[in-house]
Structure 1
Amino acid sequence: MSAEFGGRTGLWGKISEWLRMSGPTQADQDSDREALLLAAAGAGLPLAPAAHPAPGYGCSCDRVGCPTPARHPVSFAWQTQSTTDRAQIERWARHQPQANFITATGMTHDVLDVPLEAGRQALERLLGAGVEVGPVAESDDGRMLFFTLTRGTPEDEDEWWPCELDCHPETMDEHPGLRWHCRGSYVLVPPARLPGDDGRSVHWVRGPEHALPEPLTLLETLTDACARHAGQDPDHANTAWPSRH
């Protein structure tokens, strides 16, 4: 794919309008949403349906007081359900027109998830230094997602590192504010809507046409930016690390 998802031209320039819910017809919005999902799957990101926002700040799931509204998979079997199969994703997208989608990490890719301002600073530094940065998404709830290659797919299942090891380092100071989503975890994949009436979303800054980089080529810059962010925002340093999804 040669479209520039990060700019205002090409495929992304057209389908980003899906998020604004004005102008294009519903059929156009559905088609553009499907195109974005298929582009992500075509780049090797396995997808599965997720919940979507309900009126107010609610969630489409049945859980009373859902702690992660519109941010979690629909099925408990999301890890085995996740796929890059084009036909299956088309069926899901057409039969569940309001659904968000998650991508399961640790299969073909990981995600380095950082505070938004830290991520923006790191992205500027990385691009300025000529580092190959892969797909990057922004979430309007204050996070930036850097998509990378996974750390490997060893033949021996015992060699896998579960996501808890990334979410709970020995000290909070080691990687302040950074969450490393690997096996056993997931993130929302663009385009996704977040709860609320203000049009918040998860959207691409750099789309999936960019090759996935090795995570360690980004890690030092990201952790440094997170440390600077924590220093500027003392309350952030006291935020608990999330557990595995």
Structure 2
Amino acid sequence: MKVAILGAGAWGTALAVLLASKGIPTALWARRKEQAEELRARRENKDYLPGVALPAYLYPTADPEEALEGVELAVVALPSKALEETLRALPLAPWYLSATKGLFFQEGRLRTPSEVVEGLTGRPVAVLSGPNHAEEVARFLPTASVAAGPLELAKRVQELFSGPTFRVYTSQDRRGVELGGALKTILALAAGMVDGLRLGDNAKAALLTRGLREMVRFGTALGGEEATFYGLSGLGDLLATAYSLHSRNRGAGERLV
């Protein structure tokens, strides 16, 4: 099969490396022609993922027709602010996997990225989320993630992405998985503020423990299942984002104070 990764940032590149290293033909679509040309020439994403070699089965391109021609799956790894505008301009794929995190307020309600993708494309959509810093995934350090959606789609994602260092679990709680990936950002920002103010480990642990309970209450009120928030896409992602030096959210909170 052939897969297209839409978005050549750190996470999109890491997922492309993961698939291409398994011998899966993978098109990595970049929005800027100059970026695609540099990726092809250097075989490295110097701006977003320096030091990681791009495997032979990974083909960077800025041509959307070329990227999506003959693909079975399109992986959406676009920034949330560019999601709608970009997808509207691209050809359709048979089905989609959303790797974008965030929330959208549309028509009086909160929508998750997969709901936005589904609404724009009319195609089946699964999601992938967990404690997955791109820098570590691309270097094949061990981690786990959760694929969520209709069971058949979730299992296809599991089979496609699973490997010796990337273990994928399945869930049918797509909304809960996406809410966990979005809501942990608030707590990670606060955790960074604790670090910046040097309030100590006790304060940070208390913040995250009580914050997790708030996340569960808020997430279940919006339709997620409680158990999901104690799993990889909730607690797991929260810990990685609140403590890691790789975390942009934690780092932003630290710099704010």
Q: Same fold (TM over 0.5)?
A: no
Higher share of residues assigned helix: 2
Give TM-score scaled by structure 2 length. Answer: 0.30
Give TM-score scaled by structure 1 length. Answer: 0.31
Greater RCO (CA < 8 Å, at least 6 residues apart): 1
